[in-house]
Amino acid sequence: MIRLQDEIKGGKLQLLLDHNSIQNRIRGLAKEIIHFYEWERNCQLVLIAVMDGAGMFLYDLIKLLPFKIKLYCIKINTYKNQSKIKNSIVEINELTDIENNNILIIDTVLDSGETLNSVIKSVETMKPKTLKTAILLCKNRKREFDIKPDFCGFNIADKWIIGYGMDIDGFYRNLKDIYEVK
C-alpha cells in the first residue's frame, strides 16, 4: 500500500474532514433539501452533477432524497496540470427536462465561482421552475462571481484539498476522508 504522505509531491496531508463528519453533514443537507421541496406534492427533481469531483457527494446524497429524480452528469474541465482554464460558457444543450422543472445543481467545491456561475447561466436559459445549488465545500474566499449556494455542507478555509472526489491529476478521488495538502 502506498503511503499518501510519501506520494504527495511537495506537500504534507492534514485530515480536514473525516468520513463520519462528511456523512453526518450530507444527512443534514438532505433534510434541508427535503424541507425546501416538500411544498410541492409529488416533487420531481432534476439533478445536474458537475463531474468528476461531485461523484462521491452525489451518490451519498441522492440515496437520501425521497423524490422522483432524473440525473444528468456533466463534465467541465476547469483545471489541467494545476493551471486554470477559463470557462465562460458551458455547453449543456443536450439536457432535456429542464424547462418548468425543479433543478438542483450538485458540486463538491465552490472556489472562485466560475464553474458554478457558468452552469447556472446555461441552465437559466432553459427556463427551470426552480434552480438551486448544493455544494459540499464552500471555500471562504473572495469570489470572481457573486455566488452563494442554496445548500452548503461545510465552510472551509481557502486551502488545497483532496479526497472524497477531489483529486491531484485525477488521483486520490477515492479517499473517504478530505485532506488539506500543506
Check 18, 111, 146, 150 and give the catalytic one: 111
User: What is the identity of the amino acid at 25?
Assistant: R
Per-position DSSP letters for 45-113, written without gaps between them:
EEEEEEETTTHHHHHHHHTT--SEEEEEEEE---EETTEE---S----TT--S-TTSEEEEEEEEESSS
- Active-site annotation holds for 111: yes
Residue 61 in contact with residue 119, Cβ under 8 Å? no
Tell me the β-bridge partners of 181. Answer: 13
DSSP 20: H
Distance CA 52, CA 86 (A): 18
Beta carbons within 8 Å of 133's beta carbon, 6+ residues apart: 104, 105, 106, 107, 116, 120, 147, 149, 150, 151
Catalytic residues: 111
